[in-house]
Structure 1
Amino acid sequence: MTALLFGILTIALVGPIPQALAHASWPLYAPRAAMTLWQAVALAAVLSAFSTGLAIAANLLSPGVNGAPTTNPFDEVERLGWFLWTVYVIVFALTLLVGAKLIYSIVRVGVRTRARRNQHRMLIDLVDRVDRHRERGRDIRVLDVPAPLAYCLPGLRGSRVVLSEGVLNRLTDDELSAVIEHERAHLRARHDLVLEAFIALHEAFPRFVRSRSALGAVELLAEALADDQAAHATAPATVGRALVACADATAPRGTMAVGGPTTLVRVRRLCDVRPLPLVSTTAYLLAVAILVVPTLAVAIPWLTELRRLVAHM
């Protein structure tokens, strides 16, 4: 029964729940709380998947009729029945597969992204116009290209905010400050690490259960959080004008651009700021509950069993 409950919870946390959360409107008006809830849902999905495997392993390796562990697999087949035993083995194998694929995805996404960023960082440092806007900070890089470019490049060796002449020619000083603050907000909050984790999680689970809209919703929340920081440093109207001016700005893979297809939604949000303290508090409480309940459900039975074994030693 425990394995079944954890299995259902896992499927819900990687499919219907993210789908419903991605289509809700309130996260845009409580982005920090929504981002916390998204991360809790993702972590709880991983915990529930492994909890399913642990519960199945406990059933397959449970003591025999005399209290001793069974060594003959046919005894377990006789105890559980062929159908239930087969289901347990298949689900346990899928759990191991998801775990292995998650580790592989985390390593692959991390290595691939950092290699791409390191190469890109060396390139922009070589072609940087050092005579432009260096007074705004040592992290600013200006590229002498007419195409609109405005993005940040995270990295342990030094982050970069990359702008092009095409964007500089479009923006006023206040709008340029808003764009720079937007990108620096991404760098300070390390939104790149959050997005990498969701990309790895998205690739790890099978396609028929994972939600396609989860990653896009998290990306939008990251942009909303950066917009709020820029609006706090300048003004919402200034950020809105800068977003419109940079709506067609592009960025290489592995970076975060200020523009993009979500510009219209973000501008509308800046024009309709609606603080939702009750919704934020509820989201934080849900995030705690989603993490605590599966953890306790796993920990308490295992601690009880460990206490029983210690008591009989």
Structure 2
Amino acid sequence: MTTLVLAVLALALAGPVPAVLVRWTALRRTPAAAVVLWQAIAAAAVLAALGAGLSLVTQHTWGDGWREDAGPFGYAVAGTALLLTLVVAGRLLLSGHRVGTELRTLRRRHRRQLDLLAERRDGVQVLEHDVPVAYCVPGLAGSRVVVSAGALGRLDRDEYRAVLAHERAHLAARHDLVLEAFSVLHRAFPRWVSSSTVLGEVKLLVEVLADRAAVHGRDPRPLARALVELAAGRAPAAAMGAGGAGLVERVELLADSEPHRVQGVGVLCAAVAVLALPTAFVVAPWLSSLG
């Protein structure tokens, strides 16, 4: 029974649930809670998948003790389940290594290029480029906030300050780590689950979070105008830019100043419940066996 429940949970959380949830656009009104919910769904899906495999192995080979009567069929089922579990875990570990290595290599290379080509003004790297763009490059060795000359020519003082606040909010909250975790899932399972849909939604949510931080206690109109001016620019790989996709949604959300506390609490409770369900099914059999 435990194996079946965990398998159904893994399949549901990997496909149908994200596909339905991403259509609930009102969830973006509480971006912090929404990110927590997406993280809980991703963690619960992985936990359920691994737990289903391990439960099947235990069921056919262990039980209340080592099962000598498991037989060839039981060992075959257990072996297959163990192999699939190891494949899932192995793909996640390999994807994590590859994504982390690639991102850090790209960022390190880009920071070196910026130090050679860009002019540093008041802690900001200014690139002589006509395309209006603003972005940040995170890194433990020193982050960079970058603005092109084209952006400086289009933004007034308030818009410029709002854009800098947006990029610095990304760096302060380490949104790059949030995106990296979902990129790992997308790299590990690009076709089998709704990972691309989830990654796109989380990218939008972290931009909304940075927008909210940038306008906290301030007039949101300068940032909204700046987003329109920067819409044509695209941040390089491994960076996070103020402009880009989700412009209409982000401007609409900037106009929504309501806190939506009830929705936020409800979404956080849902996140706890989503993560608690597979955890209970995975942990309960081990606790009962210890008792």
TM-score strictly above 0.5: yes
CA distance in 2, matches of 1:88, 1:282: 39
User: What's the CA shift string for 1:92-128, capped at 9, x where partnerless?
Assistant: 4322211100000001000010001001001101112
CA distance in 2, matches of 1:278, 1:233: 21
CA distance in 1, matches of 2:10, 2:72: 25
**Residues 118 and 88 of structure 1, relative CA distance in 2, 3 Å threshold:** same
**Residues 224 and 15 of structure 1, relative CA distance in 2, 3 Å threshold:** same
Higher-Rg member (1/2): 1
Matched, 1:99 2:81: no
**Contact kept? 2:189, 2:195, Cα under 8 Å:** no
**Residues 94 and 206 of structure 1, relative CA distance in 2, 3 Å threshold:** farther
CA distance in 1, matches of 2:272, 2:223: 33
CA distance in 2, matches of 1:187, 1:153: 8
Give the CA deviation at 1:289: 1.2
TM-score, normalised via structure 1 length: 0.88
Matched, 1:127 2:114: no
**Contact kept? 2:129, 2:149, Cα under 8 Å:** yes
For 1:113, the equivalent position in structure 2 comes to 103
Kindly report which structure 2 residues correspond to 1:1-313, keeping only aligned pairs within 5 A, or say none. 1-63=1-63, 69-70=66-67, 75=71, 77=73, 89-130=79-120, 133-134=121-122, 138=123, 140-205=124-189, 207-232=191-216, 234-307=218-291
CA distance in 2, matches of 1:7, 1:17: 14
CA distance in 2, matches of 1:181, 1:114: 24
**Residues 298 and 68 of structure 1, relative CA distance in 2, 3 Å threshold:** closer
TM-score, normalised via structure 2 length: 0.94
CA distance in 1, matches of 2:61, 2:169: 50
Instruction: Report percent identity of matched pairs.
Output: 43
**Contact kept? 2:6, 2:281, Cα under 8 Å:** no
**Contact kept? 1:181, 1:233, Cα under 8 Å:** no
SS in 2 for 1:162: strand
**Contact kept? 1:145, 1:164, Cα under 8 Å:** yes
**Residues 86 and 15 of structure 1, relative CA distance in 2, 3 Å threshold:** farther
Letter in 2 for 1:125: D
User: What's the CA shift string for 1:179-205, capped at 9, x where partnerless?
Assistant: 000001111111111111001112223
For 1:311, the equivalent position in structure 2 comes to none
Segments of structure 2 that go 5 or more residues without pairing to the other structure are none
CA distance in 2, matches of 1:68, 1:91: 19
Q: Report how many aligned residue pairs link the two structures.
A: 291
